[in-house]
Amino acid sequence: MAKKRKISGSCNMANRNKRIKKEEEVQSQNTGGMVVDTYTSQLPELVINQIFSHLSTKSAIRASILSKEWASVCSSVLILDIDEDEGKKQSADHRDRRRKFLKFLSNCLKIREKEKYLEKFRLRMSYFGGDCAINKSLSFALERNVKELDICFKRENEVRKGRYYCLQQTALNNAKSLTILKLEYLKIEEDSIDTISLPSLKTLSLKAVKFMTNTGFSRLYSGCPSIEYLSLTSCHGWDVRLSSLGLKHLEILCCEIKLKVEATNLESFKFRGDNGLRHHIIDMRKNFYIASCQTLRSLEFSHAHFAIGWFKGLDSRFPLLERLVLHTCFSYSGIINIFSQHLKSFVFHECGNILSNFSMTAPNLSEATITIEERRDYDRLRNFLGNFDCSKKIRLHVNETEVCIFPEEMRKKYSPPLPSLKHLEVEIDTFTTVVTHSALMDSLRWMAPSLEFLSINRIHYIYDSRIS
């Protein structure tokens, strides 16, 4: 039985439940067959709170009318999570919908007015002017020492034109309790006098954010000494220099910027080098620098162009590298030789010209995930696959069966690419009816003669129970 809690407005729950019952000509106390309720009462309070903190405000309101217990949990979970898109569209007129949404937002704030603290405030809506309501909700959250702030102004099809909400830096100046800040599609108006200070901020995520000056981001970043996780998406024109010692995870996606990373305690780095919008690869040759980093464990590149020799000395620059991802990358007609002692996981997704100029020596590789989307020169494919023979496990993902069917003449002439491989998982997107299952099996058996485990689209063909 859950402990009784003293909560402001708890008597209103009883009133509210009575009222709804009258309106609906009532119903029994049960939660409509929702067995979940009997389980939640057996869990510790903190855990129940955690469960309910994942609910949006609208879901929480619905949950509240279904059970007294849930109603009291919902009112003690100090979260406001309001998304304009949630729920059925009440009316066809978008102006009417907007008005109703702003009214709902304002009402939600009023209900929580007496609360002194707020854990999380998330707002997602489209921007059509009407700063007043937004400013009010922001100050409401910040006055209550909110820890997580997530403001997203959604855009249709990520169009960059259109008005941007302007967030005053001064609004954030005293946010000492803020640990997570996520902003999307807005402008930040910097204060020329005061520098911003967010001493507790650990996670910063900016998407399509604009500053008034070129140094805006740098100044914001330098006011965040505790930052551990930074993500920048579709931010352009900045000079991003990151040398803080606390930074552990960095993501730079679709940004046209100058990037210099000297954060020597970095553990993971994810980079996407295309423009998102026009699918054109950003030329980062002169503007991309990442220092050698003794702590880096995971490197992920997608849609990036590599300068010749970028991978040289990978092992000495990133001695702890365990995971490497190359997704749709290109090399300026250079040869890629990757040598890595600690590499455990390698993910490769269809990379154009790299296939022919690629070699990898990773003696401790546990898992290699290879995705090939085009039918290739089988000779090149054989050479490429040979790089992963030492791996404990290979997952091969192809779009059509033909990719895996090595021609018979080839099989007679050449030795298999994966003589030592024991574990192979194959995923095929479209099974072409022309190819027989036995032709596929023949080719795979030639490719990896020592297989002890084989599965094709999650169906096991060989399974040796000795292997764990």
Partner 1 sequence: MSRVFKLKSSDNETFEVEEAAALLSETIKSSSSTEITVPNVKAEILGKVVEWCNKHAESEDTKDQLIKEWDAEFVSVDQHVLFKLITAADYLQIKELVDQLTQRVGDMIKAKTLKTVEMTYPTFNVEREVQEELKSLGF
CB nearer to partner 1: give 91 or 450: 91
Position among 56, 173, 222, 455 found at the interface with partner 1 (CB under 8 A): 56
CB of residue 357 to partner 1, shortest distance in Å: 26
Sign of the alpha-carbon dihedral angle for 445, 394, 290, 321: negative
H helices of 86-225, where?
94-111, 131-143, 169-172, 216-222
Quickly count: other Cβ atoms within 10 Å of residue 50's Cβ.
Answer: 12
Distance CA 413, CA 409 (A): 6
The residues facing 360 across adjacent strands are 338
Rule CB under 8 A: say whether 55 interacts with partner 1.
yes
One-letter amino acid for residue 70 of the chain? W
Distance CA 151, CA 376 (A): 46
User: Which range, of 11-19, 128-136, 140-148, 419-427, touches partner 1 by CB under 8 A?
Assistant: 11-19
Residues touching partner 1, count (CB under 8 A):
58
**Is residue 209 exposed (0-12), middle (13-18) or buried (19+ Cβ within 10 Å)?**
buried
User: Which range, of 33-41, 209-217, 220-228, 449-457, touches partner 1 by CB under 8 A?
Assistant: 33-41
Rule CB under 8 A: say whether 333 interacts with partner 1.
no
Position among 6, 22, 32, 459 found at the interface with partner 1 (CB under 8 A): 32
**Near partner 1 in 347-406, by CB under 8 A:** 347, 366-367, 369
Residue 45, helix vs strand vs coil: helix
CB nearer to partner 1: give 185 or 318: 318
CB of residue 233 to partner 1, shortest distance in Å: 15
Position among 169, 177, 298, 387 found at the interface with partner 1 (CB under 8 A): 298
CB of residue 131 to partner 1, shortest distance in Å: 22
User: Which range, of 42-50, 197-205, 274-282, 378-386, touches partner 1 by CB under 8 A?
Assistant: 42-50
Residue 405 token pair? 């069917």
Sign of the alpha-carbon dihedral angle for 445, 388, 347, 373: negative
Rule CB under 8 A: say whether 315 interacts with partner 1.
no
Q: Would strands 453-456 and 459-463 be described as parallel, antiparallel, or unpaired?
A: antiparallel
CB of residue 420 to partner 1, shortest distance in Å: 21
CB of residue 39 to partner 1, shortest distance in Å: 4
Q: Please provide residue 73's backbone torsions phi and psi, each rounded to the nearest 5 degrees.
A: -65, -45
Residue 305 token pair? 């162009």
Picking from 290, 293, 298, 301, the residue whose alpha carbon sits closest to that of residue 322 is: 298
CB nearer to partner 1: give 76 or 173: 76
Rule CB under 8 A: say whether 98 interacts with partner 1.
no
Q: Which residues of 73-108 are buried (b: 16+ CB within 10 A; e: fewer)?
A: bbbbbbbbbbbbeeeeeeeeeeeeeeeebbeebeeb
Position among 5, 43, 243, 420 found at the interface with partner 1 (CB under 8 A): 43
Residues of this chain that bind partner 1 (CB under 8 A): 9, 12, 15-16, 19-20, 23-24, 27, 31-36, 39-40, 42-44, 47, 50-56, 58-59, 61-63, 65-66, 87, 90, 100, 103-104, 107-108, 110-111, 249, 267-268, 270, 297-298, 322-323, 344-345, 347, 366-367, 369
